[in-house]
Structure 1
Amino acid sequence: MGVWDHLTGQPDAIEAFRAASSMAPGNIAMTHSWLITGPPGSGRSNLAYAFAAALLSRGPDDEGATLRQVQARTHPDLAVLSTERVIITIDEVRSLVSASQFSPSVGRYRVVVIEDADRMTERTSNLLLKALEEPPPRTVWLLCAPSEADLIPTIRSRVRSVRLRVPSIADVASLLRDRDGVDPETAERAAREAQSHIGMAHRLATDPDARARRRQTLQTALGIRSVSDAVIAASTLLAVAGDDAKAITLERDAEERESALRSLGIAAGGTVPPALRAQLRALEDDQKRRATRSLRDGIDRILVDLLSLYRDVLLLQLGVAEEPINGAIRGDLETSATASTPASTLRVIDAITTARTRIDGNVAPALALEAMLVAVSRHTAR
């Protein structure tokens, strides 16, 4: 499998990276600092790791093995910084900058990837800036962020930006068919319901439980008829988000713990020596932070699904001839559209947007959801 085969919907970006990776080390046209920007689900990190594999491989025959090492994050010339925290700490970046100074050991380059580079504070960004200003001749930095505006101007001036677009539903469905072996109908539905978010489309296409949780979210909202229904629904949606978060984190947590024990030389089920317990506690603390973030992400996914629901209702009310995102429940959409007005639907959409903003600002999710769903109850009561 070639390094570019698992990507979709970004032909211009792929061509730019393919051309850059084909240049010999030392070519003055090869940029050593890149910024990949694009909306969530556009495949920023996937493209960054594909480019990293192309840079690290020693030729076409080596691409497959190098790509597997990059995907496993085990290539000796690859350094990666991703965080489960709200911000990337200055110590993390300082360690990465130090590692970037080494010459490559087996590949043509040493590649450094920073996912979510927008999570750096200004002080941390200034530390990175010094490394970008004078990078070693065979070190390549790949930064990923939602937009250029999320980074300080001095960093933006020292990187080559590659902007990604939202892939089409057809592109995402094709990827699911070719890469994951999903049947065409399921692939198209997953791509549409995920609104072209590649990672979410993969989950919906391959995980029946994820599809069931999404269906429960929509049915819960459509079943609200009163304020008391809204309060109960808020509790239900929190539980759905919690189940979704656990599905994502539990398996990964177990794999990480098993890997940590193995690296420390501790057999499965064995006693952890006191001297090594601090390392496991640090891992557990990181996993708790990830669980908190995963829950917030799960709540946001629910709100995005609800936005798609009421977007469909509004389009039906306005007579817009466009395929609904949630076409599988078209009958329910038509019933909701008939029972309310476009103005009330817009108020619900505003309430959902407000809930997202409040939760992002650390308002208790239960309170934000209850306030939002009260607006839904008024919508359905009309």
Structure 2
Amino acid sequence: MQTDAPDVPKTGVWADVVGQPDAVRTLFAAARAADRQQRGEPAPPGAMTHAWLFTGPPGSGRSVAARAFAAALQCTDSGQLGCGHCTACRTVLSGTHADVRVVVPEGLSISVAEMRALVQASARRPSTGHWRVVLIEDSDRLTEGAANALLKAVEEPPERTVFLLCAPSDHPEDVSVTIRSRCRVVQLRTPLSRSIAEVLAERDGVEPQLAEWAASVCGGHIGRARRLATDEQARERRESVLRIPLGLGRFSGVFTAADGLVKLAETEAVAANEDRDEAEKEELRTAMGAGGTGKGTAAATRGANAALKELEKRQKSRTTRSQRDALDLALVDLAGFYRDVLVVRSGADVALNHPDFARSVATAAQEWTSESTLRRLEAVLRCREALGQNVKPIIAVEALIAALHRG
């Protein structure tokens, strides 16, 4: 799945890093240098450093590349770092390695309290592995206080600690300049459709024709391609979104369409979290002795209820984030539709974002002017910006649909 360039491993943990040969080459060289350092052998200067920033568009595999690198750093097979078979590699990928802490923000931001606890843990020496690795997905969600707490650790890192940060870009809006300046940046690119189709067919067992379709409509987002290829409901939700542009006949339909779009996002968020939420609640009840009898059970029950309320609060925050993410994904699909209309009107010889909706795109290109199409596209982008500023989803989407109707 990678190119045939030298020194680019294609097996083990690296096989999951799709379409990123340059990044894999850099990370593998760093892991090899780190391994030599551990064994007291000379290593190329500058190949390994204590802080890394993985950037790239959504779906490019930032966190996948970071996890693969973390596994390679802990790998016990010096002949094939990142072998994918040793205990260290398997526990890193499963999230159970004692010396690898992965932070996946479940709410809309990463709090300063969470980051301070993480920084304290990062100062300890590794217990079983070669390094203590701190991997922060979506580090652009750090609050200002959390970023400041992290900065101190990155400025004065413990000797055997490595920080791996993931963000959409190295722009100051995503990662502060002070943190970025202390990291080595690994830039990932949008994977080619061919590479995505190959990994869906070979690794996930998706039928080749379905894999090619999912790869062609996912916008270079590997995770999205996998969902579309394996989840019929995800395909149905996408079709519902892409029927909106040509389905806005009467103005009365604006509110129906807006409500439907928001409910689609809510449904996807619930579907993504429902089983996990219930499993967490049941695990907490068991840990707190639910159903017990005898002396002291009343106090235990009160403690369990308080813990359950705190868990439900975190789960609500996670669901809110999932809803925002699902709605944003729908808006990206809409933006892609209007982009396709502009492509057809201009006669440009480039691939469409939604080739399976080529007929609808052609119809819209005949009915709309380039100016009205561009206004619609700008309305979608304004809606994304409004949601980023915590405008209530239904209000932002109603304003969007009204703008799409006016053209």
Tell whether the structures are fold-level matches, with TM greater than 0.5. Answer: yes
User: What is residue 12 of structure 2 aligned with on the other side?
Assistant: 2
Instruction: Deviation per CA, 1:323-367: give whole Å up to 9, x if none.
Output: 322222222222222122222111111111111112222222222
- Is residue 63 from structure 1 mapped to residue 84 from structure 2 by the alignment? yes
- Once the 2 structures are TM-superposed, how far is the Cα of residue 204 of structure 1 from its aligned partner? 0.8
- Once the 2 structures are TM-superposed, how far is the Cα of residue 265 of structure 1 from its aligned partner? 6.1
Q: What secondary structure sits across from 2:391 in the alignment?
A: coil
**Candidates 303, 327, 337, aligned match of 2:331:** 303
Q: What is the CA–CA distance in structure 1 between the aligned matches of 2:90 and 2:280, rounded to whole Å?
A: 19
- Mapping 1:114-129, distance limit 5 Å: 114-129=136-151
- Is residue 110 from structure 1 mapped to residue 132 from structure 2 by the alignment? yes
User: What is residue 233 of structure 1 aligned with on the other side?
Assistant: 257
**Candidates 110, 117, 120, aligned match of 1:98:** 120
Letter of the 2:207 counterpart: D
Letter of the 1:184 counterpart: P
- Once the 2 structures are TM-superposed, how far is the Cα of residue 262 of structure 1 from its aligned partner? 5.2
- Mapping 1:317-336, distance limit 5 Å: 317-336=345-364
User: What is residue 25 of structure 2 aligned with on the other side?
Assistant: 15
User: What is residue 247 of structure 2 aligned with on the other side?
Assistant: 223
CA 267–203 in structure 1, closer or farther in 2 if over 3 Å, else same: farther
- Once the 2 structures are TM-superposed, how far is the Cα of residue 62 of structure 1 from its aligned partner? 6.6
Identity percentage of aligned residues: 44
Whether the aligned pair in 2 keeps the contact of 1:112 and 1:141 (CA below 8 Å) is yes
More deviation, 361-370/13-22: 361-370
- Once the 2 structures are TM-superposed, how far is the Cα of residue 266 of structure 1 from its aligned partner? 5.5
Q: What is the CA–CA distance in structure 2 between the aligned matches of 1:229 and 1:298, rounded to whole Å?
A: 22
Q: What secondary structure sits across from 1:63 in the alignment?
A: coil
Q: What is the CA–CA distance in structure 1 between the aligned matches of 2:103 and 2:153, rounded to whole Å?
A: 15
- Is residue 31 from structure 1 mapped to residue 49 from structure 2 by the alignment? yes
- Once the 2 structures are TM-superposed, how far is the Cα of residue 201 of structure 1 from its aligned partner? 1.2
CA 378–180 in structure 1, closer or farther in 2 if over 3 Å, else same: same
The number of equivalent residue pairs is 378
Instruction: Deviation per CA, 1:225-258: give whole Å up to 9, x if none.
Output: 1211222111111111111111211122233334
Letter of the 1:93 counterpart: M
- Is residue 83 from structure 1 mapped to residue 105 from structure 2 by the alignment? yes
- Mapping 1:165-314, distance limit 5 Å: 165-261=189-285, 263-264=287-288, 273-314=301-342
Gap runs ≥5 in structure 1: none
Instruction: Deviation per CA, 1:4-58: give whole Å up to 9, x if none.
Output: 1111011111111111112224556421111111121111111111111111121
Q: What is the CA–CA distance in structure 2 between the aligned matches of 1:53 and 1:263, rounded to whole Å?
A: 31
Q: What is the CA–CA distance in structure 2 between the aligned matches of 1:282 and 1:348, rounded to whole Å?
A: 42
Q: What is the CA–CA distance in structure 2 between the aligned matches of 1:66 and 1:8, rounded to whole Å?
A: 22
More deviation, 22-31/242-251: 22-31
User: What is residue 368 of structure 2 aligned with on the other side?
Assistant: 340
User: What is residue 61 of structure 2 aligned with on the other side?
Assistant: 43
Q: What is the CA–CA distance in structure 1 between the aligned matches of 2:156 and 2:386, rounded to whole Å?
A: 41
Instruction: Deviation per CA, 1:171-221: give whole Å up to 9, x if none.
Output: 222221122111222112212221011111111111000000111111233
RMSD over aligned CA atoms reads 2.3
Gap runs ≥5 in structure 2: 1-10, 293-297
- Once the 2 structures are TM-superposed, how far is the Cα of residue 291 of structure 1 from its aligned partner? 0.7
